[in-house]
């Protein structure tokens, strides 16, 4: 699994993102004020959570070292957490984080997307 620094660098590279540290020292990545990725800790190990499609939620939740994201999935949201190795190959993990970013982007109002320079 990518390191926490590598995940943060990737999230930072996506256009118009913002970053805050909250929820027990987690790196929380947002677009237009909406969370698309959370990089934090799980039992003392680095973990990353992100939004997924309904199908990806079903598939990924059954894979080793990936689970429905604590707190988020229990509230009916389709989020998963990669919490230990082997996790996902780096390219696949980045693709899922970027897909989460795109899902959030698609839900922003047209006005906000325009204000952020995303349209």
CB 59 within 8 A of CB 68: no
CB 30 within 8 A of CB 16: no
| Strand residues in 17-86 grouped as ranges (E) | 17-22, 26-31, 34-42, 45-51, 66-68, 79-82
pLDDT by residue (tens digit) across 17-49? 999 998 888 999 999 999 999 998 766 678 999
> What residues are paired with 112 via a beta bridge?
none
pLDDT by residue (tens digit) across 48-103? 999 999 999 999 999 999 999 988 877 888 999 999 888 899 999 999 999 999 99
Treating both helix axes as pointing N-terminal to C-terminal, what angle do 4-13 and 90-107 enclose, rounded to 10 degrees? 40
Identify the pLDDT of residue 74. 79
So where are the chain's domains? 4-108
The CATH class of the 4-108 domain is alpha beta
């Amino acid at each position: 699994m990518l390191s926490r620094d590598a995940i943060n660098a990737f999230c930072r590279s996506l256009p118009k993102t913002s970053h805050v540290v909250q929820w027990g020292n987690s790196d929380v990545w947002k677009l237009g004020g909406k969370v698309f990725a959370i990089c934090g800790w799980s039992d003392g190990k680095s973990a990353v959570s992100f939004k997924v499609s309904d199908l990806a939620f079903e598939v990924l939740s059954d894979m080793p070292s990936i689970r429905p994201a604590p707190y988020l999935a229990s509230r009916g949201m389709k989020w998963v957490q990669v919490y230990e190795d082997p996790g996902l190959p780096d390219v696949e993990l980045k693709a899922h984080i970027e897909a989460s970013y795109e899902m959030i982007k698609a839900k922003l109002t047209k006005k906000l997307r325009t204000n952020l320079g995303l349209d």
